[in-house]
């Protein structure tokens, strides 16, 4: 067998030089790792300091922690995610079993799920807690507002209006405009147009551009045979994102009554394009102007 030859002198020198370079590279890498580790520790310390400076720690009080969960539950409710809203409301009540607003939201969730008896029980518990536990006027008003809307949905209009009146009377209640608005909606349903008009005008006093209050007042003007006033009240609702099938269809009827053919066609086309599957779009496409 041919023996393995020894490396030449030049090759030996090259290997020595290469080994020196490798040692140098390893030393540099090792130093870099140490620096990075030190920087990482410093960065983590700085990051924690920034977090402490820029944010608030987890709330300590029971009520504050419950409010965090019920706020999240309300967001889920607004997005029609009832299961998630229910779970967050349950979590809030596990933290604070005396939280009236949590029971109030629970009532709305049960109402949306068509569990009427459970909704009634939830609202009754909420109201009982507002009387037993120290509660602000704003919180009491919110509970009464929600209960009133539940009663209105059940067709119990007199009881609903009583709850709305009680909510409005609470010192420090901040959602007066919204309560006047739903009170007006309830009065329309109970065929009290004069009282409803007063409620919607009260609502506009708190939010002059509220599209729902303006639409409801425009509908009352239209039913009173005053299309010009109704058109003024409707304003520019139909030109932006606030337009609804009801507002666009009312706009069509008003333009037709006032012989504004171009406006009527523009609104009708917008209705058919934006809300193609709505009953109002079907009325427009069938030119059924007698159906309101």
In this prediction, residue 184 carries a pLDDT of 98
User: Is-contact 212 184, C-beta < 8 A?
Assistant: no
CATH topology of domain 137-208: 1.25.40
Q: Is residue 164 a contact partner of residue 145, using CB atoms and an 8 Å limit? A: yes
Q: pLDDT tens for residues 75-111?
A: 999 999 999 999 999 999 999 999 999 999 999 999 9
Q: Is 155 left (phi over 0), alpha (psi -120 to 50) or beta?
A: left
CA distances from 126 to 74, 97, 148, 243, 283 (A): 16, 11, 13, 35, 43
Is CATH 1.25.40.10 the classification given to domain 210-292?
yes
| Tens-digit pLDDT profile for residues 116-149 | 999 999 999 999 999 887 788 999 999 999 999 9
Handedness of CA 175, 178, 181, 186 (dihedral sign): negative
Q: Residue 182: name the closest of 209, 157, 205, 218 by CA.
A: 157
Cα–Cα distance between 78 and 289 in angstroms, integer? 34
Q: Where are the domains of the chain?
A: 61-135, 137-208, 210-292
User: pTM for this structure?
Assistant: 0.76
Joined together, the tokens standing for residue 130 give 């507002």
Phi, psi of 174 (to 5 degrees): -100, -10
State the pLDDT at residue 143: 95
Reported residue count of the chain is 292
Model confidence over 226-244: pLDDT tens digits? 999 999 999 999 998 999 9
44 — pLDDT class (breaks 50, 70, 90): low
- Whether 137-208 and 210-292 share one fold: the answer is yes
Q: Is the pLDDT of residue 38 over 70?
A: no
CATH of 61-135, one of 1.20.120.530, 3.40.50.1970, 1.10.3720.10, 1.25.40.10: 1.25.40.10
What is the predicted pLDDT for the residue at 46? 57
Residues 176-187, mean pLDDT to the nearest whole number: 98
For residues 196 and 36, give the distance between their C-alpha atoms in angstroms, rounded to a whole number: 70
Following DSSP, what letter does each residue of the chain receive, concatenated? Answer: -PPPPPPPHHHHHHHHHHHHHHHHHHHHHHHHHHHHHHHHHHHHHHHHHHHHHHSPPPP-SHHHHHHHHHHHHHHHHHTT-HHHHHHHHHHHHHH-TT-HHHHHHHHHHHHHTT-HHHHHHHHHHHHHHHHHS---HHHHHHHHHHHHHHHHHTT-HHHHHHHHHHHHTSTT---HHHHHHHHHHHHHHTT-HHHHHHHHHHHHHH-TT-HHHHHHHHHHHHHTT-HHHHHHHHTTGGGSTT--HHHHHHHHHHHHHTT-HHHHHHHHHHHHHHTTTSHHHHHHHTT-TT--
Number of neighbouring beta carbons within 10 Å of residue 235:
14
| CA proximity to 127, closest of 70, 167, 95 | 167
Query: Is a pLDDT exceeding 70 seen at residue 45?
Result: no
CB 236 within 8 A of CB 224: no
pLDDT the model gives residue 60: 64
Whether the Cβ atoms of residue 88 and residue 72 lie closer than 8 Å to each other: yes
In this predicted structure, what is the pLDDT of residue 37? 47
Q: Taking 70 as the threshold, does the pLDDT of residue 23 lie above it?
A: no
pLDDT tens digits for range 246-277: 999 999 999 999 999 999 999 999 999 999 99
Residue 19 has pLDDT above 70, yes or no: no
Q: Determine the average pLDDT of the residues in 30-52.
A: 53
């Amino acid at each position: 067998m041919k023996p393995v030859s020894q490396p030449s002198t030049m090759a030996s020198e090259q290997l020595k030089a290469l080994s020196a370079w490798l040692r140098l590279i390893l030393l540099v890498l090792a130093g870099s790792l140490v620096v990075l580790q030190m920087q990482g520790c410093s960065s983590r310390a700085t990051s924690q300091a920034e977090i402490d400076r820029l944010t608030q720690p987890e709330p300590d009080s029971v009520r504050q922690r419950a409010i965090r969960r019920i706020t999240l539950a309300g967001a889920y409710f607004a997005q029609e995610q009832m299961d998630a809203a229910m779970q967050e409301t349950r979590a809030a009540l596990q933290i604070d079993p005396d939280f009236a607003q949590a029971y109030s939201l629970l009532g709305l969730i049960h109402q949306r799920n068509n569990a009427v008896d459970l909704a009634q029980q939830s609202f009754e518990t909420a109201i009982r807690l507002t009387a037993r536990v120290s509660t602000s006027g704003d919180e009491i008003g919110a509970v009464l507002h929600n209960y009133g809307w539940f009663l209105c949905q059940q067709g119990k209009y007199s009881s609903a209006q009583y709850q709305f009146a009680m909510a409005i009377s609470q010192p420090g209640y901040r959602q007066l405009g919204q309560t006047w608005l739903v009170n007006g909606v309830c009065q329309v349903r109970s065929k009290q147009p004069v009282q409803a008009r007063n409620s919607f005008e009260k609502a506009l006093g708190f939010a002059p551009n509220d599209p729902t209050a303006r639409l409801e007042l425009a509908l009352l003007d239209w039913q009173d045979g005053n299309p010009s006033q109704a058109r003024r009240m409707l304003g520019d609702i139909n030109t932006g994102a606030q337009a609804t099938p009801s507002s666009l269809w009312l706009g069509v009827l008003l333009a037709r009554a006032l012989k504004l053919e171009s406006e009527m066609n523009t609104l009708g086309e917008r209705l058919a394009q934006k809300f193609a599957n709505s009953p109002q779009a079907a009325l427009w496409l069938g030119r059924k102007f007698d159906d309101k």
